[in-house]
Amino acid sequence: MTDAAQPDIVYRPRGRLPGTRLGAHRGRDAGGLGTFRDQVPFLRMPDARRIDVRATLRDPFEGTFVRRFEARTLVEVWALFDLTASMRFSGEADRIGLASELCVALAASATRIGDAFGLIGCDETVREEAFLPASRARGRASDVARRLAATPCTGRRADGMVQAARRLVGPPKMVFLISDFRWPEALITRVFSSLSRHDLVPVVLGDAAEAEGLPEWGLLELDDLEGAGRRVVFMRPALRRRWIARETERAETLRRIATAHGRPPFRLAGRFDPDAVSRHLLGS
């Protein structure tokens, strides 16, 4: 699929952004160009080109006022992609395929409005073959698709996410953290803390087959994709209830940590729906 054919994801960074490069988002600075913001005394912004004649004539103290405008600026959008082996899970849908669709759509949407997009894939370390620096190039979505298709998910841990956070230097960025989050709670807390200065958007890869799709009774052969081997489990109602309870507790723990450091998680399962992603980003 070409960049032009990618569905748009509409996003809005939280708060006003620093920076002077003209873009699509609300900037922190004010000046003579952009969206009208307010009127200020001439001495606060001595720009004779922006004098507001009506406001000046209305002032009973004969002060001079100028119009101040809200600058529009750019933002760097980054995807931090989990490359651990659990991401190979395929049930109702292919987990890697869903995550890749999201990354490609984000890259196309960002560069279409002039923002830069970058990619960092991680397992135990940052995987250099899955690293793309932030770029505004219109072909970035195709680059992302090729890079992810060529990079296998083989890692056993996601410690590299902490290293990835150290690469995001400079002004705050919009960071999509894409994973199934099958991590220890301590690592989740550490990674989220390391990214808290950015506008952090956790994206949780889920699947109905992991819990809701479990049978009441039956033999299940479980395969640990991260190297612990296979085992046969006799599923019964009590075990199914405990299993679902653990999944619910895990999701609640992630939600609690995420909202303490950024936005609540977005659950991506079944199929990729760019409109659902946009609604989450605009409403959170």
pLDDT at 234 > cutoff 80: no
Helix, strand or coil, per DSSP, at residue 216: coil
Q: Of 64-78, 94-108, 141-155, where does mean pLDDT reach its minimum?
A: 64-78
- State what percent of residues in the chain have pLDDT above 70: 79
| Contact between residue 77 and residue 115 where contact means Cβ atoms under 8 Å apart | yes
pLDDT average, residue stretch 133-162 = 93
> How do the domains of the chain map onto residue ranges?
22-73, 76-206+261-283
Give the pLDDT score at 126: 96
Give the pLDDT score at 235: 66
Q: Which of 25-29, 224-228, 241-245, 248-252 has the highest mean pLDDT?
A: 248-252
Q: Of 31-45, 110-124, 270-284, where does mean pLDDT reach its minimum?
A: 31-45
Q: What is the mean pLDDT of the chain?
A: 84
pLDDT at 231 > cutoff 60: yes
Within 8 A by CB and 6+ apart from 83, the residues are 121, 122, 123, 127, 130, 151, 152, 153, 154, 155
pLDDT at 69 > cutoff 60: yes
pLDDT at 223 > cutoff 80: no
Q: Of 65-69, 175-179, 234-238, 279-283, where does mean pLDDT reach its minimum?
A: 234-238
pLDDT at 2 > cutoff 50: no
> Can you tell me the distance from the alpha carbon of 113 to that of 34, in angstroms, rounded to the nearest whole number?
16
Residue 57's alpha-carbon distances to 61, 65, 235, 245, in angstroms, are: 10, 9, 80, 68
> Can you tell me the distance from the alpha carbon of 33 to that of 30, in angstroms, rounded to the nearest whole number?
8
Give the pLDDT score at 1: 47
> Can you tell me the distance from the alpha carbon of 102 to that of 280, in angstroms, rounded to the nearest whole number?
14
Could you tell me which residue, 104 or 91, shows the higher pLDDT?
104
pLDDT at 280 > cutoff 90: yes
pLDDT at 22 > cutoff 60: no
Give the pLDDT score at 138: 85
- State what percent of residues in the chain have pLDDT above 90: 48
pLDDT at 209 > cutoff 50: yes
What is the DSSP code string of 71-125?
A: EEE--EEEEEEE-BGGGG-BSSSBHHHHHHHHHHHHHHHHHHTT-EEEEEEESSS
Give the pLDDT score at 226: 56
pLDDT at 245 > cutoff 50: yes
pTM for the full model? 0.77
Give the pLDDT score at 228: 52
> Can you tell me the distance from the alpha carbon of 224 to that of 211, in angstroms, rounded to the nearest whole number?
15
> Sorting pLDDT into bands at 50, 70 and 90, what band is 12?
confident
CATH of 76-206+261-283, one of 2.40.70.10, 1.10.3720.10, 3.40.50.410, 3.40.50.300: 3.40.50.410
- Tell me, what amino acid is at 227? G
> Can you tell me the distance from the alpha carbon of 132 to that of 225, in angstroms, rounded to the nearest whole number?
27
> Can you tell me the distance from the alpha carbon of 196 to that of 199, in angstroms, rounded to the nearest whole number?
7
Residue 230's alpha-carbon distances to 16, 47, 215, 221, 235, in angstroms, are: 50, 72, 19, 7, 15
> Sorting pLDDT into bands at 50, 70 and 90, what band is 211?
low
Residue 67 burial by Cβ neighbours in a 10 Å radius (0-12, 13-18, 19+): middle
pLDDT at 147 > cutoff 50: yes
